[in-house]
Amino acid sequence: MSLWKLSAGTACVVGKKQLKTDVLPTTAYIMLGEKCRNHCRFCSQSRDSSARADLLSRVTWPEVPGEEAAQAVGAAFRAGRLQRACLQVVHNEQSWQTSVDALERLVRESAVPVCISSAIDSVAQAKELIARGADRICISLDAATPEIFRQVKGGRWQERWNLLTRCAAELPGRVSTHLIVGLGETEQEIIETIAHCLDNGISVGLFAFTPVRGTVWADRQPPAIGRYRRVQIAHFLLKTGYSRAVFRFQNGILTGISLPVSEMKLILAGGTAFETSGCSGCNRPYYNERPGGVMYNYPRALTGNEIQAAIAESGIIGIHAEQERRRAGCEMAGHQ
């Protein structure tokens, strides 16, 4: 009998666990397999990690028999409590068969759209997963640059990028990746990688590095919130059609956006830039955050005060307004 690990919030949504929380997931997060081959320094499932086996990031994942879990997810989807299912498969010798079996179980139970993140090596495998009923394929980059990828994950970024772009070309609109802010990259590097992803039709789920006890990087600090907000804003602008040419950087830091302050305020007024990004229907509540702590990704619509706070945390609007005032002052002086 196979066991599926459901995130604690997912287990609550499908009736397998009692949980006190102000926000429940709108996607069923399912982790499959154990003893990963990889040794990502940030991951509790890494072969080098001594973290609890039921952790991924800061979320616990109670086990449920696979057939029972698939039925419960299907019922929750039909009842309107879930919009999507996300299969995250640990890389080991059984990961391909595990992926196929779990996908087929979910598809058999309901029409829930399924995104699958598994260790595939070819476009043919991605196509096979789509043919078997997956809605989307996720191939995680995690690191924004080849050098950081090598240091943090121990592999070759270019190979992962090549597979990602080939899959996106062959399966338009159905390929995603994950990027983690805080692995050592600059803001310019991760924003440029986001732009390259979007140029290639690859959607991006942004994460904040989260230290987890027992991992190699347990003592490393998460990214400053101002930095994360600036990357979120850049990601949102790129997604909504703005060119990367609007961004201005100094020493790798996003220091200006070549748009009027009034336009920037209008773009950010809804707060969507600061909500969880990724596949549609994905809100990942408290994946990177402790309740009551710093909210990197809001799992729900923000209140007006939260929007104003997030904009202020970015620091970018105040800088931009000051630059506009200086330019206006120079122009007036030039006319005198």
- Per the DSSP assignment, residues forming a β-bridge with 88 are 31, 117
According to the model, what pLDDT value does residue 170 have?
Answer: 98
Query: CA–CA distance from 288 to each of 52, 89, 209, 263, 298 (Å)?
Result: 17, 19, 7, 30, 10
Token code pair at residue 115: 């995104």
**Count of CB atoms within 10 A of residue 63's CB?**
16
Quick one: pLDDT at residue 52? 64
Instruction: Give the span between the Cα atoms of 99 and 134, in whole angstroms.
Output: 10
According to the model, what pLDDT value does residue 2 have?
A: 87
Per-block mean pLDDT, blocks of 10 residues, the chain (336 long): 89 91 93 82 75 65 92 97 95 91 96 95 96 96 96 92 98 97 97 98 96 87 96 98 96 94 92 96 88 90 96 82 63 55
The confidence score (pLDDT) of residue 51 equals 66
DSSP string over 109-135:
H----EEEE----SHHHHHHHHHTT-S
With H, G, I as helix, E, B as strand and everything else as coil, classify residue 300: coil
Look up the pTM and report it: 0.91
